Amino acid sequence: MDVIVDGYNVIFKVPELGDNTKKCDIEILRNRFLSVLEQYKEKRKHKLIVVFDGQGSGVSYKSNISGIDVVFPRPGLDADEEIKRMVNNSKRPREIMVVTSDRDIKRFVERCGSKVMEPLEFYRDVTEKIVRQTADGQGRKKIMRDEGEPMSKYTGPSKSEAQHWLKVFSNKTGKGSDD
């Protein structure tokens, strides 16, 4: 199943992701969300596509971050229209789930035969899978966490975060600075 995520819609509907909007810029919020999705992607094999509103570059921008397709639509096309376009152009719309709370998108994708999931439900599913899978490696033990604590406290850094910090704290020979 392909999962298409209405990026900013999810960020601003999930308090844990978008609560600090006054203290953070949008890039920090986006990276925080993608970091959580990266850990989820390590556990699940769904195709994961996250659509954010424009980059302002004049053309659409697509990248792949740790197996997650990140899409910024071209100018004149917002994330809502891009999501609708993706579903409408799909040869298998019944195998797509769209994560959004936007009523217009929900109505459109449901008419196409796709499934819809609310942002909070999706985020709970994502964090539950991350915690369950990392608790003991076999999914038997669930960690109880306090509200407002970041998932990274329990799951540790994602692969790309770990690689980034390894580069930062390694010298040119690849050995750690304390070696």
Residue 162 sits at the vertex; the CA angle it makes with 156 and 164, to the nearest 5 degrees, is: 140
pLDDT tens by residue, 26-53:
888 888 899 899 888 887 778 999 999 8
Q: What is the average pLDDT across 133-139?
A: 51
Q: CA–CA separation, 28 vs 34, rounded Å?
A: 10
Paired tokens of 55: 């980059």
Q: Using CA atoms, how far apart are residues 17 and 37, in angstroms rounded to an integer?
A: 12
| pLDDT value for 115 | 97
Every domain of the chain and the residues it spans: 2-168
Q: Which of 37-46, 50-59, 148-157 has the lowest mean pLDDT?
A: 148-157
Whole-angstrom distance, CA of residue 60 vs CA of residue 85: 13
pTM above 0.85, yes or no: no
Per-residue pLDDT, 52: 92
**What pLDDT is recorded for position 144?**
43
